[in-house]
Structure 1
Amino acid sequence: MTEEQAKELLQKYLDQQASPQEQKKVEEWYTTLHTKNGIVPPYRKARIGAQMFAQLQVVMGNEPKTGRILKFLPFISVAAATFFMLTIGITIWKLNTKVSSENQLTIITGSKQQKRITLPDGSVVLLGPSAKLCYPKVFASNSRQLELKEGEAFFDISHQEKRPFTVRTSVGLNIKVLGTSFKVKSYEDSKQLEVAVVTGKVAVSNQKGNLGTLVKDESLTYDKNAGRAAIRKIKAPAFIEFAFDGTSLDQVIAKLGYVYSIKILLSDKSLGKLKTTASFSSKQSPEEILDIICSLHHLRFNASKNHKTFNIYR
């Protein structure tokens, strides 16, 4: 790579226009020059492009524009050894840059950026700022696994009973679900990791075993240093919208079952083939939704005393 190409790449990084692969190259170059363990703390990511771009401009005889660079750094001291370090850095970068697996995708967001990602199974991830998510282009036939390496993400998971969904985190915690929506907040420079369930149920575990099972409107806070977890009720519950477009009643009740952690039975299996087109919100109670669905198909339903089991019949 020529110095001009390196300059162009760093400018793209600074403007948050670099692809995930290009961002990775810049950060690997940076860690080679500046860190011992090869890890870039999230609070320094926004400064990487500015610092390296300024150094490169000095090497090439270009004075950096102070208004642009000093926005990120109050002052950059460049010693005479900078040229030598950059030359070595570029060489190491070219020799050590690894090509990502053909089956693996990595999404990285900027410090003020958010992204909506649709996964191969139809699940949706809303990725917050300064986040990094790795997932396969195609999930395995018997499981769905991805890794949230950094940041905050909201997951709305497509229900597939035979393929459980697992979110792995950089601190060794795994969040396992079948079909639900939840939020994970995991920053490297934070002492805590948080999992909050909007609908459904998730199980959180580490290498020592299960830390807790969360249901709707519950959150788990994990203390990284102490290795302890605490579960509490969410003070301000979040809500999601979900819609059915010509969906079979079998699929509808499966979705509702995981959204509300309830069991819905059909008195006649043939009812499961009925098609439903309607939109709902998790603000609504399961009774309210079932009342609407049954009205559409001229059906009836009843509930158990604890309102955890429902039976639909003609």
Structure 2
Amino acid sequence: MTEVQAKELLQKYLNKQASPQEQKKVEAWYAKLNQENIELAADRKVAIGEQMLVHLQAAMRQNPKHGKVFKLQPFIRIAAAVLIIITLGIGIWKLNTPMKLENQVTVVTGSTERKNITLSDGSVVLLSPSSKLCYPKAFASNNRQIALTEGEAFFEIAHQEKRPFMVHTASGVDIRVLGTSFKVKSYQASKHVEVAVITGKVAVSKKNVNLGMLIKDEFLIYDKTVGRADIGKTKAMAFIELAFDGASLDQIINKLQYVYSIKISLSDSALSKLKSTAVFNSRQSPEEILDIICSLHHLKFNASKNHKTFNIYR
């Protein structure tokens, strides 16, 4: 059944023109609505309420025939459900219909596999082993949303102030950012969801209820069993892997600058094209990583007194 056919059936039900079989189908959708416990934003509820009021006032102005008065209340309940269906756009009938994901990409990693994914906005995701990520080939014009349905990933989000980035998890915990780097750990078999911020700031919520605002070097652990979130300063779990597979020196520098909030310059722009393959951990200092990278290409580097500015040279 197409969406158009579904809406036509719903309209027939409202007009009391549906056959007994069609009535049962609509009422089954309504029952499904109750089971799914769909949540709506406040502005959507207001719009639905206004539409319901118009339809219910019209229904009550009609003079019900004798013997039909007691059927008005269930009819109103179904009418309300139908209005919610139409307002949601896709409709309850799609709850029993496989979702079409022509514009979606799903990436799954094996038990020892890691993947580096670049999204359409330039954001980068380092997907850990035994993980699953779903994202659109191209983001919408007003938002960026992806889903980490299983596992662990490090996110380096391209800053776009007018187009927020949202990471959804299978547990219902959502992470909203504008531009930052952070780690999310959300295994379905675990009772905890972990979010650790490396740079920037993120907001963590569940069902539109704020769980906490995290800044650099803070982490949040959400207990799915008791529904409680605890926030603390970064500990071992927040250190992330920095993997480079044939990356240019320019790409490595950009990532190190982002993760450590430092500035790295090259004495010769030609050095930016040098390639490296290596794996580091953010537990390591930037000096230690630069020392290894430079030794691979027989380069040198120096650092400022506050260790916030570095220069690489031959």
TM-score scaled by structure 2? 0.50
Q: Which is greater in Rg?
A: 2
Higher normalized contact order (CA 8 Å, seq sep 6+, divided by chain length)? 1
| Greater per-residue helix proportion | 2
